Chain A
Amino acid sequence: GAGVSQTPSNKVTEKGKYVELRCDPISGHTALYWYRQSLGQGPEFLIYFQGTGAADDSGLPNDRFFAVRPEGSVSTLKIQRTERGDSAVYLCASSQVGGDGYTFGSGTRLTVV
């Protein structure tokens, strides 16, 4: 596609439930990133994929968060046993080596009630 696509755009879930957030990067971009943004803050790094493997997952806050990219394209961020503090906008970005920078999607706004 022309840009990074994230679905759903909004997700409301109950505390304790499991959620999946999807990211479809720009075709051919080998690097994929997940960030989380709370109100009034800059995006906070979660995890970075190079191809199919997670090259850096140091930003994942705890083991309730997990992400996969099985075929080196689409990625899914999975959150188990959601908590109200997980409420934020989850941003996905992709890039290629030698490119000027990331291309971000519009994000998924997750609200845990």
Chain B
Amino acid sequence: LAKTTQPISMDSYEGQEVNITCSHNNIATNDYITWYQQFPSQGPRFIIQGYKTKVTNEVASLFIPADRKSSTLSLPRVSLSDTAVYYCLVGGLRGYSTLTFGKGTMLLVSP
């Protein structure tokens, strides 16, 4: 399974755009890139998934360059409630594979 590297922590302020970059140099051809969010005392929650280029949903955008060796999760205009741990994962068939979690990025949003 491809290993991912992401910052341990990030700080931001309310209303700012936050970009969290993840590197996955050994991503396989059939791997998807998925991001999860986790609040304390809860299980991780799916945010967004993509294979290449750009994906956008109501929560975030995911930017994937052509070589797919990295990806960037973009959270527009964060609020205090976006304070959480964000995990970047790579894995096989959408929604149907064993995922390997790293330690994630702890995002702290301040007033």
Contacts and interface: CB of A to CB of B under 8 A. Distances in A.
Interface of A: 4, 31, 33, 35, 40-45, 48, 56, 59, 91, 93, 95-107
17 contacts: A31-B95, A41-B103, A42-B87, A43-B44, A95-B96, A96-B96, A98-B94, A99-B96, A100-B34, A101-B46, A101-B49, A101-B95, A102-B44, A102-B46, A102-B95, A104-B44, A106-B43
Interface in B48-100: 49, 87, 93-96, 98-100
Interface residues of B, number: 21
A107 B41 CA distance: 8
Given A35-B101, A107-B42, 13 more contacts: A31-B95, A31-B96, A33-B98, A95-B96, A97-B94, A98-B95, A98-B96, A99-B96, A100-B94, A101-B34, A101-B36, A104-B44, A106-B42
Contacts of A97: 93-96
B101 A44 contact: yes
Nearest to B96: A97
Interface of B: 34, 36, 41-46, 49, 87, 93-96, 98-104
Nearest to A47: B98
The A interface is mostly helix, strand or loop, or mixed, namely loop
Contacts, number: 65
A104 B96 contact: no
Contact of A103 (B41, B46, B99, B104): B46
B43 A107 contact: yes
A65 to B, nearest CB: 16
Query: B87, B96, B103, B104: which has the most chain A beta carbons within 10 Å?
Result: B96
Contacts of A93: 43
A40 B103 contact: yes
Contacts of A35: 101
A106 B38 CA distance: 10
